[in-house]
Amino acid sequence: MTMIGDDLQQVNSRIAKACVTAGRAPGEVRLLAVSKTFGPQAVREAHAAGQTAFGENYVQEGLDKIEALADLRSSLEWHCIGPLQSNKTRPVAEHFDWVHSIDRLKIAERLSAQRPAHLPPLHVCLQVNVDGGANKSGVPPEEALALARAVAALPHLRLRGLMAIPEPATDFEAQRDLCLRAHAVYRSIRDAGIALDTLSLGMSADLEAAISAGSTMVRVGTAIFGGRSYGKPA
């Protein structure tokens, strides 16, 4: 097994252990391997070790990898998890399977209009700013329900849930408290009658706290692929 395969196995073990500790079934939490800044070969190695879902922050980098790994396309699931500008919606609608970062109706409307008819609906999550940080993307919690209702009504999209990136915290309880804010928004939208099934929450440093707080999908990069260099992907 490769180093990436070993690290992937360790992350999956962390997820399973966190689920048991939280009284949840391991199958309730999916792993999204965040492959940004790592090249196609790293994705191939992770895929060979059993990973199928990969997250990309940068649209063009993701498109390049999708093209380079076209031979694996039927067994790979590509998630756009970075901030999305209006001029980037078309290639995302045409080539990705999921978008996690919708925080404006305009972006969702463009994705819906630009999703090719021969493809299944694009799975989408709303990004919620649970901390209120002025420089962070995401819809404010108090506006999330209205946006969810509008996005759920669009054709060619399937609203799956919410995504959040809480501020870093140093201990488990502080991490969990931040994650619980996101879960509260998720629960309130479900209670309003919108059928969500995905809470994209938790990364390498806080996945245990996120799982304890109800996350159904953790986004892990560093613990699988190693430290990042923000130059050209390897």
3-state secondary structure 105-155: HHHHHHHHHHCCCCCCCEEEEEEECCCCCCCCCCECHHHHHHHHHHHHCCC
Residues in the chain: 234
Residue 122 pLDDT exceeds 90: yes
Task: Please tell me the pTM assigned to this model.
Answer: 0.95
Q: Which CA distances in Å does 50 have to 71, 81, 214?
A: 16, 21, 24
User: What digits encode the pLDDT tens for the residues 53-62?
Assistant: 999 999 999 9
* pLDDT (mean) for 33-44: 97
Q: What is the pLDDT of residues 131-187, one digit of tens each?
A: 876 667 899 999 999 999 999 999 999 999 999 999 899 899 999 999 999 999 999
**Distance from chain centroid for Cα 170:** 22
Contacts of residue 149, defined as CB under 8 A and 6 or more positions apart, other chains included, come to 192, 194
